[in-house]
Structure formats: structure tokens, C-alpha cells
Amino acid sequence: MQNTGDDAVRKQVQVAFSELAATIHEDLLEVNARLSAQRFLLEQMYANLFLKNPDGFTRFMQGALLATQERSTRSGPISEDSALELQARIATHLQRFQTSVEKRLREH
């Protein structure tokens, strides 16, 4: 009898986790879509803004990367390891953004 009750509880937990995972997956897809759309629009805007001054964009991004190294972890208390990881991730995204905008500038 105990096993049947345990099996029922396990099944309920599995169903609950499955539903929770589906909700989280849907939320992540929505956030990803929103961020992708915003990134696309920003890339377009920056490419248009720096269309006649691509070197200015490169200087701008170099300044942004430098600022990231100096100020990216000032939002709250954070361990040194987490700060370094955060800086690396921010730098990676900025570099991807720069590469994409520079590609758009070359295509014009």
C-alpha cells in the first residue's frame, strides 16, 4: 500500500515539475524573442547613426568595452568571481553587437 501512495505522490510531483518546466520554457522563449527584436532594432539604429562615420562607431564601442571593465559590477554586492564572469559576459555581448553593426555598416 505504501508504494502505491509513494507512486501517486511521485507522479503528482512529476506532473507539477513538467508543467513548471513548460511555463519556464515558454517564458524563456518570450524573453529571447523580445531581446532578439530589441537587439535587431538597436543594430539598425547604430548602423544608421554611424553610417557616415564607421571609425566613430569603433571608438564608441572601445569606450563602451572599457567602461564595462570598470563599472559593470557596481550595481550591488557581488563576489570577485561573479564580477569577472559578469564582465566577461557583458564584453562578449558588446563584441557581438559591434561585429554585427560593423557588418551592417560594410553592407551599406
Domain boundaries, the chain: 2-107
Altogether, the residues listed in the chain come to a count of 108
What is the distance in angstroms between the CA of the first residue and the CA of the last residue of the chain? 73
The rounded distance, in Å, linking the Cα atoms of 95 and 21 is 32
Q: What is the pLDDT along the chain (108 residues), one digit of tens a residue?
A: 457 778 889 999 998 899 999 999 999 999 999 999 999 999 999 999 999 999 999 999 999 999 888 776 666 688 888 888 888 999 999 999 999 999 999 998
